Structure 1
């Protein structure tokens, strides 16, 4: 079959990396189209994924509509020539629209309930919408639930083994205690009106007082007094760091969830609660979410108690999670092959018997 994969965020590269490889190994043709966003293109290049960039990065919410329109028009032109059997994406606004116009199938993966603009634009046009079983919204007959998280498409132990030598890249020793702190830019369409920590400086001071070195990663420019905490490593090695950290403190849900499924406790500070962050907290005790006006203070208090827990606490919690949850890459491949099956069979028959087409 012919598959089109669309990439509009670094997380999309991680999610589709192994399905792309698996599909190609099974004889399918995969065409990857991307929009520049943070380090998405750098990741595609690092993983040696053949791709075409269709649009640049948007500098603001106002420019996002224009960039998205450009991206969709160019995607439509490319897909018209390819005649794909299925188009797939995370979120899937462009993928669902283009597939609908061309009369091909679309499979959308999503896990963010409060991103209502994206869901309103994509869901009505998508043939299949795959969500984690903990997703809080009932979508209708197009919805396919699965027992997993996006992060288990690339961080399941069948797909990922941490490389602790990443510590050399950031100037740490194997015995050093350290925390990774992730601050968000709050510029995404679903982040409007939201915020995280009151004072990131206080977070770092608390971690250092507990004996942790601090590695800081920030969307955009960091506060001037925190710039010295930023670190440099290749983007594809971020998950190695998350796996060997003592704790991850994040305003972003994806980073917090990645840490959690790797067995690293995550402090998540964000007004938005999601089905998967709630499940990682309530069912597995690997993530601790905080919202509301006192979220900053309560998160710092919880941080102290997390650092006092023995490391095998988190190992046991992760083992239980992995017993319950699936390798999501296998699910992705199965969904795409299932929905594209009839169209791909027709394509094959037409190629074999052109007089009958």
Structure 2
């Protein structure tokens, strides 16, 4: 079986990297195509995933449309040459379009209900759309639901063991109270008009006053006062840091979910709500979501209470229950891609009915 994997965001690297290795170990040919976006290419290189970069970065919604068109055109040329059985992606706009042209089966994974542009462009062309059970939306017969989250493709205990040396690398010890903070850029198509913190400087000041050491990761330029707080280790060490942090506070849903799955309580500050954020909040109590007009003040109160309570055993019990309920999502990826490939191969080899 020949499979094309398309990568357009750093999180996509983490999601697919273990599945790529497993599919290759099963004898399948995997071709990875990417576009530059933040640290996407660096993560592919650090994960030792062979890949070809088809397009550069974008800095606005208008330039994103141009970059996406370039990416899709170049992907189509490669797919016509390679003749894949399956094309898979997160979101899957380019993957579903190209697959429909070259006769491949498209397997799309997605978990973001409010990304209307991506859904409208991808879902009508996709053959299979895989979503978590908690996804709020019915896609019809092509939808496959599974008990898990994207982040469990790479942070399930089967796939990830945190490295405690990360604390030495940042000059801290297990006795330090560590808060990881995330600021978003709000330039994705589904983030336009949304918001998070009122004032990031106020957040850092309040967390420090509560006794925390704040390490900040940001998609945007920081005020000069916050630059010394910037996390500066390799991007693939962030999950080690999240595992040993006492709390996550941020505007990014992916990193909030990552923290929660690792047993680190997450305070999510964003006007947007998501199915998996709601489940991690209401079902497991590992995420605390603040979406309303008072989100800044209420989220800080919650973060300070988590720091001051220092109740590690509670978070561990909640994580254990989550892991008992959910699956290793890499297994889902491998199974669905193999099934799609087998069906595609069977359809191609089936004899053409004789009209006579």
TM (normalized to structure 1)? 0.96
C-alpha contact 2:86 2:340 (8 A) present in aligned 1: yes
Distance change >3 Å, CA 27–CA 347, structure 1 → 2: farther
Q: Look up the match of 1:326.
A: 327
Match of 2:150 in 1: 150
Partner of 1:341: 342
Moved more, 131-140 or 199-208: 199-208
Deviation at 1:344, TM superposition (A): 3.4
**Are the structure 2 counterparts of residues 119 and 168 from structure 1 closer, same or farther at C-alpha, using a change threshold of 3 Å?**
same
Residue 3 of structure 1 aligns to a residue in which SS? strand
Partner residue in 2 for 1:265:
265
Distance 2:137 2:40 in 1: 28
> Where does residue 354 of structure 2 map in the other structure?
none
**Counterpart in the other structure of 1:213:** 213
Aligned counterpart, 1:353: none
- Aligned pair count reads 350
In 2: Cα distance, 1:347 partner to 1:211 partner: 63
Q: Which string of whole-angstrom CA distances, capped at 9 and with x for unpartnered residues, describes residues 264-312 of structure 1?
A: 0000000111000000000000000001111101111111222214111
RMSD: 1.3
- Contact 1:2 1:344 (8 Å CA) reproduced: no
Alpha-carbon deviation of 1:79? Answer: 0.7
Deviations 1:200-223 (A, max 9, x none): 111111111111111011102112
C-alpha contact (below 8 Å) 1:89/1:109 kept by paired residues = yes
> Any unmatched runs of 5+ in structure 2?
352-356
Which aligned pairs between 1:14-163 and structure 2 lie closer than 5 A? 14-163=14-163
Please name the residue that 1:188 is paired with: 188
Moved more, 163-172 or 292-301: 163-172
SS at match of 2:87: strand
Measure the CA separation in 1 of the matches of 2:80 and 2:202.
Answer: 53
Aligned to 2:314: 313
Contact 2:183-2:220 within 8 A present in 1 as well: no
Please give the secondary structure, in 1, of the residue aligned with 2:124: helix
- What per-residue deviation string (whole Å, max 9, x for no partner) do you get for residues 182-207 of structure 1? 00011111100001000111111111
- More displaced stretch, 215-224 vs 263-272: 215-224
Task: Map 1:242-257; keep pairs closer than 5 Å.
Answer: 242-257=242-257
Q: CA deviation at 1:343?
A: 2.8
Runs of 4+ in 1 over 4 A off after TM superposition: 345-350
Structure 1 CA distance, aligned partners of 2:343 and 2:142? 18
**Partner of 1:88: helix, strand, or coil?**
strand
Q: C-alpha distance in 2, partners of 1:106/1:223?
A: 43
SS of match in other structure, 2:130: strand
Q: Corresponding residue for 2:292?
A: 292
2:160 is paired with a residue whose SS is coil
Contact 2:55 2:67 (C-alpha < 8 Å) held by counterparts: yes
1:355 aligned residue: none
The corresponding residue for 1:354 is none
Q: Which residue of 1 aligns with 2:279?
A: 279
Distance in 1 separating the partners of 2:185 and 2:305: 28
Match of 1:175 in 2: 175
For 1:78 and 1:247, the matched residues in 2 are separated by 44
CA distance in 2, matches of 1:310, 1:65: 46
Q: Which moved more, 1:164-173 or 1:4-13?
A: 164-173
